[in-house]
Structure 1
Amino acid sequence: MKLSLKPRLARARIITGPVIGTAAAGLAAGLAAISLVAASAQAAPAAGNAPVAHATASAKPVIVLEHGAWADASSWDRVIARLAVAGYTVYAPPNPLRGLPSDSAYLHDFLTKNPALAGRKIVLVGHSCGGAVITNAAVGDPAVKALVYVDAFIPAKGQTVDGLLGKVPGSCIGGNPASTFLPVPYPGAPKGAADLYLQPQLFPDCFASGVSAAQLAATQRPLSSAAVTQPSGTPAWAKVPSWAVVGTGDKVIPPAELLAMANRAHAHVAKVKAGHLSLISAPDAVARVIIQATTASS
């Protein structure tokens, strides 16, 4: 089964070097409105202006972060802050969490039709089910030079998130769906599908592993149940160099399965003493791996 959070205004966090900008914007080709949060250690840009790139940032690959289920782009905040200090331009677009094909198409359009990314090398990072999304979204995009999987699914062609959860015993969400999820119908859902909210009592030990569980449970964005049963396509990791952060205390995706998927993708593996949300509990370690990937792809 999969991760998700409750639909709110679609947000994408964008940081350019040490400058962090906030402004509502719409991307061409029907991309959802983006909010940018702006702040500068020196002078903040005028309202409505795009963030000004730091002189060294344009020479570095752009980093695009894809969140997982039961979360939104803010789950990357601590990692984003560290990457910004290192001078990277960072985008964290919303993951619709409606289904693997549509979520992947949404991210692919963000990567290929966003004028801000034109001509830039990209390092694409996915957390949890966001890993399945980047696996498909990067296919056919020569700008993507590296993939980074953070406690994430790394599916092969034809595999589903649900199927990967069952390959190795031990997942805290791999048992009886009735005791794991709260299903809620939504308009236009595929036949038999519903939005899946994680049962609040599972958040502290299973999903959050001690990371502000009450707030995460209250603000979770649901994942469509269709997303966990839709098969993955040809994987981008077959041609794109990959890195994997493996939380040794992950209770959502057993570490043995994380390692098996990473090894199959020939990923560079970094083990971190963290649960499923290492991007929140171990942001320094996660940022280091992302920077390693950007350095190798430069």
Structure 2
Amino acid sequence: MKSERYRRTAGVLLAVLALVATAVTPAAASHQSKPRPTIVLVHGAWADGSGWSKVTRRLQDDGYQVRVPPNPLRNLGSDSATVRNFLATLSGPIVLVGHSYGGAVITNAATGNPNVKALVYVDGFAPAQGESIFPLAGADSALAVDPTTVFDFVPYPGGPPGDVDLYLKHDTFVTSFASGVPRREAESLYPAQRPLTLSAGNDLSGTPAYATIPSWYVLGTGDRIITPTAQLFMATRAHSTITRVPAGHLSLVSHPGQVANVIEKAAKATR
């Protein structure tokens, strides 16, 4: 009798467990099946993709797929189209990250792309429609002075009449652009800077992606290129989640752990 009762009790328990598993497992499986987003890092002016190396390593160590496409730095419209075309080759969700001028590029490149689930600005420009980047740097920016004192002007073939490549002068690069970065490292970055064209700095931005895509913003409180006040204005206007970092313009170099943490928060929010 007892053994029969135990068998019946066990049968009832198994039936209940089966019902629970049927009810719970699909939802849990659905949640777990959502893929991690690919993180795309876009560099800005006077830099290249290697500036993201410390951040990239941390993201990869945490299991994220990372891509760092080149930003041509020629024209805001064509630079954005270059990144937009690159994004079209990726499948699944994307977290799109832009530093400095790269922020203006992602603002335009992500517009209309349903796979881009989050934007992250790192000391970046976040222009509204019809704005150009140079006026957005702030009245106290190291760039808001006589341009001949901060730039070396280099003509380039095939450019519009009067257009030039802008290279940062040594002192501006080391003391303002790379402020907060160890001097030896700043000196090593200076020779390899990639120039931005004068026209790119004055191109007008299009419909901003942050109007429809949630955004995060890493604000460097010691930034001398895009002032903290200017960054706060743009981040607030974009309704970004703001993280302040005690860094200069190259927080991705001097504070890569904090930058990576913000990117991962944005990535987790998409799942």
Scaled by the length of structure 2, the TM-score of the pair is 0.85
Per the TM alignment, residue 59 of structure 1 is displaced from its structure 2 partner at its CA by 2.1
| Match status 1:246 vs 2:228 | no
1:214 partner SS? helix
In structure 2, what is the equivalent of residue 285 of structure 1? 258
* 1:297 to 2:249 alignment: no
What pairs up with 1:127-276 in 2 under 5 angstroms?
Answer: 127-165=99-137, 168-211=138-181, 212-276=185-249
CA distance in structure 1 between the aligned counterparts of 2:155 and 2:187, rounded to whole angstroms: 24
Which deviations, in whole Å up to 9, do the C-alpha atoms of 1:46-95 show, x marking residues without a partner?
Answer: xxxxxxxxxx9982000000000011000000000110111000000000
Between the aligned partners of 1:125 and 1:255, the Cα distance in structure 2 is: 19
What is the Cα deviation at residue 162 of structure 1? 1.4
Greater helix percent: which structure? 2
Q: Alignment identity in percent?
A: 54
Instruction: Give the 3 Å change call, closer, same or farther, for CA 58–75 of structure 1 in structure 2.
Output: farther
> Which residue number corresponds to residue 11 of structure 2?
none
**Shift of residue 288 of structure 1?**
0.5
Counterpart residue number, 2:20: none
Contact 1:67 1:75 in 2 (8 A): yes
Contact 1:57 1:87 in 2 (8 A): no
Structure 2 residue aligned with 1:22: none
Shift of 1:271: 0.2
Q: What residue is the counterpart of 2:94 in the other structure?
A: 122
- Name the counterpart of 1:71: 47
Tell me the distance in 2 between the aligned counterparts of 1:284 and 1:58. Answer: 25
Distance of 1:172 and 1:57 partners within structure 2: 48
Paired residue secondary structure (2:152): strand
Q: Which amino acid aligns with 1:208?
A: A
Q: TM-score scaled by structure 1?
A: 0.78
Unaligned segments of structure 1, at least 5 residues:
1-55
Which one is further off, 206-215 or 173-182? 206-215
Q: CA RMSD in A?
A: 1.3
Aligned amino acid, residue 193 of structure 1: D
Q: What count of residue pairs does the alignment treat as equivalent?
A: 237
The alignment partner of 1:252 has SS state of: coil
Q: Which runs of 5+ in 2 are unaligned?
A: 1-31
Using the alignment, how far apart are the partners of 2:258 and 2:174 within structure 1?
22
SS of the residue 1:59 aligns to: coil
